[in-house]
Amino acid sequence: MPSDITAHAEATQRRPRAAHMLGQNSGLILAAVILLLSIIGFAGMYWIQQGRLPGNFELTSTVNNTMPLALAALGQTMVVLTRGIDLSVGGIVDLANALAAIWLTGGVLNTIGISVVIVLIGAAAGLINGLLVGLGRLQPIVVTLATLSIFQGLAIRVLPQPGGAVPAGYTDFLVNTNEPTALIFLVIAVLGWMVLRRSRLGVGLFAIGNDEPSAIALGINAMRTKIGAYTIGGALYAVAGLFLAANATAGDATTGDSYTLTSIVAVVLGGVNLFGGRGSAVGAICGAFITTMIVNILFFAHINPLYQSFYEGLFLVVAVVVGGLIGRLVRGAR
């Protein structure tokens, strides 16, 4: 990416390599530090309350509860990298969740087939967003606000009342309640990200997020890249919906709604720049875990759950402000 190359050239003239690396990855490093602090905070709180450190059970339930958000945040990252934003996350999660509760009935092959179909439906929903943004040249925020309404409507049409059932084997496979095996899926996601990052699409994502006109001038197909980003995003939201259904062992066409907001929160906390061009899968996953840890900490601090969103909102603002300040300090004030 041209801008990175020039930035790199400038930086090497002035500062040692380590400082440059720190500057380039400040968002990710900050996310990792916040995550570490929140884990320490949680462990400390837990120790005070329970007289021992959290163990395998706490780890497993935290991982399982975070899976849907981590996947939704990964999808949101794809879109945010292109300087877009996806508000339809909740609708696609809802739709996948509702379909899973209706269609999944048992039988290994059957279950795999249906899961694939649901993910493809999610990808198709994302493709619609992508076509409207990329081909239709419409603003992401209004397009996805409109499609959110459509997908939510479809989800309620599929599953008017909470219910349905997810086979027990499905829950065990995706979110094993005894061991944090779900982490394997996150490792797979990160590996997938590393491949994508080096592909034509991945380079395009960062390029158009940094400077769209230059990227186009250098032969990047901005339209195809955007369509790709929203489509992959849609598929990931659908996977999030499957995990949500597996967690709840049943379906609900509205529980996914909250993922629109929390995926943005996780992405921001994960050091993904909302103005595009900067961010990583690991960061987004860290952001998702931070979001869950905050809820855990508030719970163990005996904070009235009614105040939960107050603290979440406050934390989000403080994290962004402090993160911005630190990022500026690390990169060196000019």
| Binding site residues, another protein, CB under 8 A | 85, 132, 136-139, 141-143, 145-150, 152-154, 156-157, 160, 261, 264-265, 268, 274-275, 304, 306-314, 316-317, 320-321, 324
- Shortest spacing between CB 116 and another protein, in angstroms: 25
Least gap, CB of 164 to another protein (angstroms): 16
- In this complex, which beta carbon is closest to another protein, that of residue 107 or of residue 313? 313
- Report in angstroms how near the CB of residue 21 gets to another protein at its nearest: 24
Amino acid at 152: Q
In terms of CB distance, is 100 or 269 closer to another protein?
Answer: 269
Which CB sits closer to another protein, 324 or 332?
324
Give the number of other CB atoms < 10 A from CB of residue 311: 15
Q: How far is the CB of 102 from another protein (least distance, A)?
A: 15
Distance of CA 50 to the CA centre of its chain: 32
Write the CB contacts of 300 (distance below 8 Å, at least 6 apart in sequence): 42, 45, 46, 49
Of the pair 188, 314, the CB lying nearest another protein is at 314
Report the nearest approach of another protein to the CB of residue 257 (Å).
Answer: 10
Amino acid (1-letter code) at residue 95: L
CB of 264 to another protein, least distance (A): 6
Q: What secondary structure, in 3-state letters, does the chain show? A: CHHHHHHHHHHHHHCCHHHHHHHHCHHHHHHHHHHHHHHHHHHHHHHHHHCCCCCHHHHHHHHHHHHHHHHHHHHHHHHHHCCCCCCCHHHHHHHHHHHHHHHCCCCHHHHHHHHHHHHHHHHHHHHHHHHHHHHCCCCHHHHHHHHHHHHHHHHHHHCCCCECCCCHHHHHHHCCCCCCCCHHHHHHHHHHHHHHHHCHHHHHHHHHHHCHHHHHHCCCCHHHHHHHHHHHHHHHHHHHHHHHHHHHCCECCCHHHHHHHHHHHHHHHCCCCCCCCCCCHHHHHHHHHHHHHHHHHHHHCCCCHHHHHHHHHHHHHHHHHHHHHHHHHHHCCC
CB of 154 to another protein, least distance (A): 7
**38 vs 152 by CB, closer to another protein:** 152
Nearest to 282 by CA among 208, 192, 175: 192
Nearer to another protein, 16 or 160 (CB): 160
Of residues 44 and 324, the one with the C-beta less far from another protein:
324
Which residue's entry shows tokens 């909102």? 313
In the bound state with another protein, the residue whose beta carbon lies nearer, of 155 and 201, is 155
Least distance (Å) between residue 243 CB and another protein: 24
- Smallest gap from Cβ 136 to another protein, in A, equals 6
Q: Which is nearer to another protein, 108 or 141 (CB)?
A: 141
